[in-house]
Structures are given as C-alpha cells and as structure tokens.
Amino acid sequence: MTSANFTFDRLTYEDRLRVAGFDEKQARPHAEALDFALRDSVATPGDIDRVESRLKAKIETTAATLKVEILRWLFVSQTGLAGVRLAAMKFVR
C-alpha cells in the first residue's frame, strides 16, 4: 500500500530530534527509518476503498454461490422425497 496523500517532513523531524539531544548520527537514521516505515505501512483512503470493493465483490460472489448450492440441494432432496412417496404408494397398494 502506498501513501500518496500522506506527507512526513523527515528534515523537520530530524531537526526536532537534534533539539531534543540526539546527535546527527542518531537523528538521521531514526528519521529515515520512520519515513520508510510510514511510507510502507500507512493506508490511504484509496487503499481502503480498493480493499473494501474487493471484499464486497467476494461476499456477493460467495452469497450467489451459496444460493445456487441451497437451491440445488432443495431440488435434489425434494426429488428424492417424491421418489420415496411414489415408492411408498406403490408398496401400499
């Protein structure tokens, strides 16, 4: 996932670390690591919308498949029951 709408000012963050007592050898790698982590792991609204769309499509497909399977099962079971009824009627006569 990319974060096109998210901005992180690495240099400002690095400057704040220096003001807080970090030296350049500590501040720069820390700022770079945080920048990399944020760019790699922050989802944008677009990312969430795409995932939501895929999930909705998957749910709709699964629901349609289940409906077909239920109808198939009902048809087969009703046909079987009709056969049993006919056999029972023939047997009783």
Per residue in 77-88, pLDDT tens? 999 999 999 999
Give the per-residue pLDDT at 3.
44
Q: Is 4 helix (H, G, I), strand (E, B) or coil?
A: coil
Structure tokens at 46: 């677009």
Residues 6+ apart with CB under 8 A from 51: none
Q: Alpha-carbon distance 32 to 64, whole Å?
A: 48
41 against 23, higher pLDDT: 23
Whole-prediction pTM value?
Answer: 0.48
> Which segment, 12-26, 29-43, 55-69, is predicted with the most confidence on average?
55-69
**Distance set, CA 23 to CA 8, 9, 18, 36, 82 (Å):** 20, 18, 6, 20, 85
Give the per-residue pLDDT at 5.
56
Give the per-residue pLDDT at 75.
97
